[in-house]
Amino acid sequence: MDLIIIGAGPGGYETAVRAAKVGLKTVVIEKAALGGTCLNAGCIPTKCLCHSAEVHDEVVAAGYADSPVDIAAIVARKDSVVEKLRAGVAMLMKTPGITFLEGKARFVDAHTVAVHKADGAEEQFSAPNIIIATGSVTKFLLIPGAHAQGVITSTEALNLTSLPRRLCIIGGGVIGMEFASIFRSFGVEVEVVEFMKEILPAFDRDIAKRLRTSLKKRGIGFHVGAAAKAIYEGTPMRVEYEEKGKLQSLECDLVLMAVGRGANVEAINLDDIGIEYSRRGITVDENMQTNIPGVYAIGDVNGLCQLAHAATFQGYCALQHILHPDEANPYRESLKVIPAAVFTTPEVAMVGQTEEQLSEAGIEYRALKAFYRANGKALSMDADDGLTKVLVSPEGTILGAHILGAHASDMIHEVTVVMRNGGSIHDIANTVHAHPSLSEILLAAAEA
């Protein structure tokens, strides 16, 4: 074998296919479901629920306010989509050159992996190159009641058979905000308890604040700068938190623990072969290589960027180094410009640096803004709640872009392409944009 990949999430299976196509004999090992967290308990199923929530909002807006929410049908549709995509990944694993195995992997030595199968049998494989892609696991706060009955994670939230009347979400990050938006659309009373001063701490603060304002208008309650202290079982449940120095509590029927995900470094015996790692994840260099030559780590397990598309391109970066170790690696540059999106209503998307990061670094910049309410397409869609903000240097170099509004997750890629190719805000300003379109909001910002 030429390559062993441990984990069949987006980073693992996409890299395996590419490796096989260039002639590498590749083994892929997966102990759970094909597609990893993204396909089975993350990106895809969450977006299925987001779509159902959006459709329900449109039905209500059309005058059918009493339209019931059939959560069982919504979950069934989600399961159908996931199963179709999982079958697609299974077909990819039949690509000539790929050997796929179900089982738990462990290192025998730095270049040998044993696979323990469900039937108890064990098989060993050796290869000069190994990619660890074991993903991440749900984090829990170390507070009393964190694992109490009635406390669920995002995985369980995707498979509810009935809706609670009141939901408390602990954590105002991406996972928490998407589920807050989804369940509010389904008629659930939602309260969010977030430790930081603002939701979406990694995003531009102005955009995050505007999103919180939009979600509050939809009826979602927020307690920011609030530390969850304890969760008490009962009917109703009670969440105790400290806000502005005062101990307070709120009642609910269900608690969603959404305080992030941590690198799944315990999935394989890293210590036995001396791979360096920390609480954040496996330590890697710019080629995704660990301290053991020929052993790489990609995706959530290295803690660099917990996004499925980042995992895929990290895999490509590792493969490029495996194939051409003495040549320049173009994927290093690609990984410097990674867009991110939050599928709330309205959506949020970003790429590059925030105003807070630029200010802290003492970098001079201008913020160019344009609003959805001035865009004809947005008004025709009844989606006038939104803002586009592009941060540029005095010379016009794009340093970052932040969008709040309908289809933000699609619009951000125009800026991403310009940034990746060394363009400037002038390239956007001098490019004809179709009318009427939401992309004209970016054009308006570029001309500001």
Long-range contacts of 303-311 (CB under 8 A, 24+ apart): 303/263, 303/278, 305/335, 305/338, 306/136, 306/261, 307/338, 307/340, 308/9, 308/10, 308/11, 308/38, 308/42, 308/43, 309/10, 309/338, 309/339, 310/335, 310/338, 311/9, 311/10, 311/11, 311/38, 311/133
Show me where the domains of the chain are located.
3-136+262-334, 151-259, 346-446
- pLDDT of 63 reads 87
Amino acid at 305: C
Class of domain 151-259: alpha beta
Q: At the topology level of CATH, where does 3-136+262-334 sit?
A: FAD/NAD(P)-binding domain (3.50.50)
Q: What are phi and psi of 219, to 5 degrees?
A: 105, 10
Per residue in 235-249, pLDDT (tens digit) is: 999 999 999 999 999
Indicate if 151-259 has the same CATH topology as 3-136+262-334.
yes
- pLDDT of 192 reads 98
Residues 6+ apart with CB under 8 A from 6: 12, 29, 105, 113, 130, 131, 132, 133, 134, 268
As given in the structure block, the two tokens for residue 413 are 């890629």
Tell me the CA distances in angstroms from 128 to 269, 331, 349, one per residue in order. 18, 22, 39
The number of CA neighbours under 13 Å toward the Cβ of 324 is: 9
Among 55-69, 314-328, 379-393, which is the least confidently predicted range? Answer: 55-69
In degrees, rounded to 5, the angle at the alpha carbon of residue 301 between the alpha carbons of residues 295 and 302 is 70
Per residue in 404-440, pLDDT (tens digit) is: 999 999 999 999 999 999 999 999 999 999 999 999 9
- Per-residue confidence at 377, pLDDT binned at 50, 70, 90? very high
Q: Which residue has the tokens 């470094």?
A: 265
pTM: 0.96
Asked whether 120 and 134 are in contact (CB, 8 A), the reply is: no
- pLDDT of 441 reads 98
How do 398-404 and 189-194 pair as beta strands? unpaired
Q: How far apart are CA 47 and CA 51, in angstroms?
A: 6
Task: Respond yes or no on whether the N-terminal peptide bond of residue 68 is cis (omega within 30° of 0).
Answer: no
Residue range 359-380: mean pLDDT, rounded: 98
In the residue annotation, 309 being an active-site residue is answered as: no
- Per-residue confidence at 343, pLDDT binned at 50, 70, 90? very high
Per residue in 309-329, pLDDT (tens digit) is: 999 999 999 999 999 999 999
Amino acid at 289: Q
Q: What are phi and psi of 224, to 5 degrees?
A: -95, 155
Residue range 176-202: mean pLDDT, rounded: 97
Tell me: pLDDT of 67 over 90.
Answer: no
- pLDDT of 62 reads 86
Residue range 177-199: mean pLDDT, rounded: 98
Calculate Rg over the CA atoms of the chain: 23
Give domain 346-446's CATH number out of 3.40.30.20, 3.30.390.30, 3.30.365.10, 2.60.120.330: 3.30.390.30
Q: What are phi and psi of 207, to 5 degrees?
A: -65, -45
As given in the structure block, the two tokens for residue 53 are 């929530």
Strands (E), 305-421: 340-342, 348-352, 366-371, 387-392, 398-404
Tell me: pLDDT of 400 over 90.
Answer: yes
Task: Respond yes or no on whether the N-terminal peptide bond of residue 346 is cis (omega within 30° of 0).
Answer: yes
The number of CA neighbours under 13 Å toward the Cβ of 193 is: 27
- pLDDT of 61 reads 86
Q: How many CB atoms lie within 10 A of CB 266?
A: 11
